[in-house]
A and B are shown apart, each in its own frame.
Chain A
Amino acid sequence: MPLPTGPFILGETMTQLIQLITFGIVQGLTYALLASSFWIIYSTTRTFHLAHSLTYAIAGYAVYVVSVQLAMPLWIGLLASLLCSALAGCAIEFLLYDKLRKRGSTVLGIFLSSLGVAAAGTALLQLIFGPMVKQVPGFPNATLSMGEVTVTTLQLTGSAAALVTIAALYVLLTFTSIGNAVTAVRTNPRLSMAVGIRVESVSLLVFAIGSAMAGLAAYFETISFVAYPTMGLQPVMFGVIAVFLGGIGSVKGAALGGFVLGFLLVFSGLFLSQNLGVILVFAVLLVIVVFRPDGLVRSPIGR
């Protein structure tokens, strides 16, 4: 554990604190991106889309296939990640969830089918690519330091991309007519139908957006570390927790939840051991779910 040890000199602890804050921001933005990606799908379609983890892994393998197997530049790999994840998400919605809803399936039935897709898809990835992890090298990764505080260009790029994407989603939802249609379906599906908004189309749209956002996160994880079949499980899980932590009423809540989660995990490493950090997250989640089920950010005017 990288705990601060030895005599505490003010300057040194300050440096460590700034370093931790930097890590917290990097982690927090990643989780905020994941949370927003799950939130837009969950809050609009009320689907507990656990197969989001499969979408994530597909994006990871997409960049591997394009940039390593086909030896194309990394930016084409990025496009492939975004495209493949969006397509995967839309396919699951169009071919499965939409049909189940129209057949009057229960929430539980839809969730179980989501589990089936996640399990089968992940296993298929393992059959196609083998159980070994896949690396995608080539991103010019330098370490930047300001005094003792360091951050890599990869972390910086990933954080900036996450921030820009979340901001773009906010702008889309708040200022465009298509974004208003999403908010309309999310908060009042019946009136949406009455004014002629095609609910099925909006559902597909949010699956495309949310899945591409997960694809972006998966892209950065793959070029920073590796791709493997179950890579989506933990990030999506933390994304889901972040959504319920922050509140399902708005994208601000979900993103804030992700940010808080990232900071919580990083800072618990300072004061507690790493696994106690996860216990802390669980405890916070429990308290929020039981005592403040709307999450940290409540919608001011309700639904």
Chain B
Amino acid sequence: MAGSYIADLASQVAFLVALSVSLNILLGFAGQMSMATAAFYGLGAYTCAVLTSQGASLTGESLFAPQLPFLGGFLGAVVVTFFAGLAVAAPAARRVKGDYLILLTLAFHFLFITVTSTWVDLTGGPNGIMLPPLSLLGFEIKTTDQAFWLAFAWAVIATIICWKIGGSPFGRLLRGIREDEIALHALGKPTVWPKSLTFGITAAIAGATGAVSAAYMQFVAPTTYSLDLAILVAACVALGGAGNILGSVLAAIAIGSLRPILENTGLLSSDTAVPWQTVIYGAILVLGMVFRPAGLLPEGFSFRRRGNYYKSVPGDNVIAMAGHSYIEPSGARRVKTPKPVSEVVVEVRDLTKSFGGLQATRDVSFKLRKGEIVALIGPNGAGKSTIFNQMTGAIRPDRGDVLLRGQSVLGADPVKVAKLGMARYFQHVRILEGMTAIDNVALGVPGQTGEALSRVFLTPSAVAKREREVQAEARKHLKDVGADGYADQIARDLAFGQQKLIAFARLLATGADVLLLDEPTSGVDPRSAQQIIELVRELAASGKTICIVEHSLHVVSELADRIVFMDAGAVVGEGTVEEITGRADLVELYFGT
């Protein structure tokens, strides 16, 4: 194709931009590492080539060749790579994580390279496939300058798609997945399908980019789709800033322009410019990981907000509170007025579970009533956490049942249980550290239109309307727990006590009326602890049903209306704080003989 050198280079940069923004959705937003970028890019290119070529490779072998127009090849590439992405995600989205994901995507890359270089009948083997001159909707593209506009247009479209995804509630869900999947499950958000879909979309955008590039170069061959390309794209995402689409665009333009700049300084020949480009981006990637792991433009970075983005939070410092006393005269303890007996909301029946030979829980039964605070206490290893895990569906009991408003929730997973209105608060908070307080809480809100990706693109106004409601609701919950002052702060930068409050706001956002709290006050300073204790009391007064596991008896005596005492997996006592602490046999169990 005739045309200018600059246009040719600019097209290559445009392809790199499209690949980088699509990988950012998967790697930066959803936190899933993929080494298969080059493979999907190549798969799209080959699909388009096979569908549009004239049926003869360089060596003259006959190929499967339907000779479709370019748009046919393009659509074919999108469909094929989308489903290939889903297929790779199938094991990845369910149980395979981290290193296994790297392994699987790497293996997929090698599989692709092997197949394209050896399945000569279809792919032309090492010689590749020639494509006909590019024509789009009857308009023939003759020069590189014209073709550049196609590449440019595609890069813009890909960027807009990824930008839309990233900024939508679906994108927020993906960032939640990156931060902590278990926390999302406990908020009633499923993660398998969003992850799979993201794999499919990233693959499809890479595949479509491959199709455009194949038509542009009029040639495909296995060597184009090397692992180096996959590394290059990952480098653009990491350097630009994971979770920041604009960062990926800028990084791709900067790194993609390295080679022409190197070539034109006159220092390097075109033979050495490519390896030098690799040396430079490899080195930048290494240095970036050491000195600026969040990338040049970190997630959430905005030029306008820059002034206060990094501002540290005036937190409740433990050291500053050191003078505060923990020991209170026992007379100062809250005198509880007995509450009227209310309806039973949760009934735990005969929960029994053993791991291997170890009996973790044995015939555990108790009831939770509306507006009541029940504390589960007992020595280490008594089985309290195992009970919570069985109640929320994280562990399936061997025997027994859990009834929520009379309905059994046995067999439901944590997502379903949370949706039914029984939500869990974790001991170590499981806050989504890399997200703002308001995003943390917004993720808790159920029934979000924008968490369905199709709605983001098909009914944007309905999504925007619902999102305004979600934001308002999230803000209200933050205000309720007294944390609205730091709504836009990244959770990581907040004090632990503040993080715990945000976790409470998130819990309230789910609308659950049964709250299972695992050590709500551990690890915070006395003032925050007191704040949380007040909050839990208010929640109970407002009609929530509350069960806490707490090791500090001090806190238990402040909060609990009733105590269920467990030892060695079984319930050995039940009653008020006074009744339980007065029993000599329980003293022996708790403090030894």
Binding site for B on A (CB under 8 A): 48, 96, 99-100, 103, 105-113, 115-124, 126-127, 131, 233-234, 237, 240-241, 244, 273-275, 278-279, 281-282, 285-286, 289-290, 293
Contacts and interface: CB of A to CB of B under 8 A. Distances in A.
A279 B228 contact: no
Contacts of A233: 227
B120 to A, nearest CB: 10
B276 A123 contact: yes
Contact of B231 (A115, A241, A274): A115
Minimum-distance CB pairs A-B, first 6: A120-B282, A116-B285, A123-B278, A275-B118, A123-B275, A119-B282
Interface in B31-80: 31, 33
A48 B285 contact: no
Interface stretch (B100-108, B157-165, B360-368): B100-108
A113 B91 contact: no
A219 B66 CA distance: 48
A109 B95 CA distance: 21
Contact of B283 (A110, A116, A293): A116
B290 A103 contact: yes
A289 B106 CA distance: 14
Interface in B103-147: 103-104, 106-108, 110-111, 114-115, 118-119
Interface string B448-486: 000000000000000000000000000000000000000
B102 A117 contact: no
Interface residues of B, number: 45
Contact of B114 (A113, A127, A275, A286): A275
B103 A240 contact: yes
B98 interface: yes
Contacts of A286: 91, 104
Given A113-B290, A116-B235, A282-B108, A108 B31 contact: yes
B115 A275 contact: yes
B390 to A, nearest CB: 23
Interface of B: 31, 33, 91, 95-96, 98-100, 102-104, 106-108, 110-111, 114-115, 118-119, 227-228, 231-232, 234-235, 238, 271-272, 274-286, 289-290, 293
Contacts of A117: 282, 286
Contact of A273 (B118, B271, B279): B118
A145 B351 CA distance: 69
B26 to A, nearest CB: 12
B132 to A, nearest CB: 27
B286 A116 contact: yes
A113 B289 contact: yes
B31 A119 contact: no
B110 A234 contact: yes
A243 to B, nearest CB: 9
B272 A127 contact: yes
B100 A244 contact: yes
Nearest to B32: A108
Nearest to A248: B99
Nearest to A107: B98
Given A107-B98, A112-B238, A121 B282 contact: yes
B99 A99 contact: no
Nearest to A124: B279
Contacts of A115: 231, 234-235, 282, 285
A88 to B, nearest CB: 14
Contact of B290 (A48, A100, A273): A100
A117 B284 CA distance: 10
**Most chain A CB atoms below 10 A, which of B104, B108, B282, B290:** B282
A234 B114 CA distance: 11
A106 B28 CA distance: 13
B235 A278 contact: no
A103 B99 CA distance: 20
Contacts of B102: 48, 111
Contacts of A124: 275, 279
Contacts of B99: 48, 107
Contacts of A108: 31, 33
